[in-house]
Structure 1
Amino acid sequence: MTDTPATAPTRTTGTARTAPASREDADDGARPAFPTTTDEWRSAARGTLIERLGIELTHVDPERTTGSMPVAGNTQPAGLLHGGASVTLAETLGSVAAQQHAGPTRAAVGLEVNATHHRGVRSGSVHGEARALHRGRSTAAYEIVVTDDAGRRVCTARLTCMILGD
């Protein structure tokens, strides 16, 4: 994947159009510009749950997408990483990869996510890697493995996305 700017138009109800100037301008139902680089995905995450949880994308492409998230601020009252935070990291990585597979004229939407939590984490960061299991015309499926700083498996998730459009 190259880190070149995205120039493809976005689509809304079958009509090509340019991207809105800002996220606020996107409230008319139009899709924002299609991010193609890791930096563009980071920018697109501003003001979303991704930013709120501190998820940092480190590599983005349709076959393999990676990222990390701090444990601090994403814990349950017992001080362990919240399982929902692990699932959010997993779904984010799989969804970004699926959207890269779908391309600028189609949309990837989550159909099903499941997760198994293997161990608790109290500090540091967790790291996720989404790997494609299936990249088809109408669906894409990913296995996402979340590990702690020592490389121990914390969570294994599977995400299936439906590809909408053309």
Structure 2
Amino acid sequence: MLEEELGASYRNTLVERMGIEITEATPERVVGRMPVEGNTQPYGLLHGGASCVLAETLGTTGAVFHAGPGRIAVGIEISATHHRSATSGYVTGVATRVHGGRTLATYNIEITDEEGRLVCSSRLTCMLRDR
């Protein structure tokens, strides 16, 4: 069901190009992962922008589920702190809703490496609008 709901909307987008996979999605919590390979900066480290793309993808997905049918969510503010580098494997992000209103939704997103170490912490606010 999750793949049916999200798969078509992410086809031919940055989400697909970066290899992001959503494995769990509810209005309260979204989990997904992304390969480090192909998403690095010239030194072979996971690009900070890639972490932001993962964070925004997860938070916006939660906000869309929160907003409900006939509504959309667009990111209006993101912040990220990069705690450590990742050089291989996958990173996993968990977005947790901290505020869910009628016009705004805010999520905290923690991205960890395969050893469970915190790579990036982020906060995303989305504006919710009628389609």
How big is the alpha-carbon RMSD for the aligned residues of Structure 1 and Structure 2? 1.2
Structure number with higher relative contact order (C-alpha < 8 Å, ≥ 6 residues apart): 2
Equivalent in 100, 104, 120 of residue 155 of structure 1: 120
Which of the pair has more CA radius of gyration?
Answer: 1
1:42 touches 1:56 (CA, 8 Å); kept in 2? Answer: no
Matched, 1:138 2:96: no
Secondary structure of the equivalent of 1:78? coil
Secondary structure of the equivalent of 2:120? strand
Equivalent residue number for residue 88 of structure 2 = 123
Alignment gaps of 5+ in structure 1: 4-36
TM-score normalized by the length of structure 2:
0.96
CA distance in structure 1 between the partners assigned to 2:42 and 2:28 by the alignment: 36
Secondary structure of the equivalent of 1:43? helix
Equivalent residue number for residue 32 of structure 1 = none
1:94 touches 1:159 (CA, 8 Å); kept in 2? Answer: yes
TM-score normalized by the length of structure 1:
0.76
Task: Write out aligned runs for 1:71-86 (5 A).
Answer: 71-86=36-51
1:42 touches 1:57 (CA, 8 Å); kept in 2? Answer: no
Query: Sequence identity of aligned pairs in percent?
Result: 56
1:90 touches 1:144 (CA, 8 Å); kept in 2? Answer: yes
Alignment gaps of 5+ in structure 2: none
Q: Which has the higher strand share?
A: 2
**How far has the Cα of 1:44 moved from its partner?**
1.9
Matched, 1:57 2:22: yes
Question: Which amino acid is the alignment partner of residue 73 of structure 2?
Answer: A
Question: Which amino acid is the alignment partner of residue 5 of structure 2?
Answer: E
Secondary structure of the equivalent of 1:161? strand
Per-residue CA distance 1:44-66 (angstroms, 9 max, x = gap): 21100000000001001110001
Equivalent in 99, 107, 111 of residue 72 of structure 2: 107
CA distance in structure 2 between the partners assigned to 1:119 and 1:105 by the alignment: 39
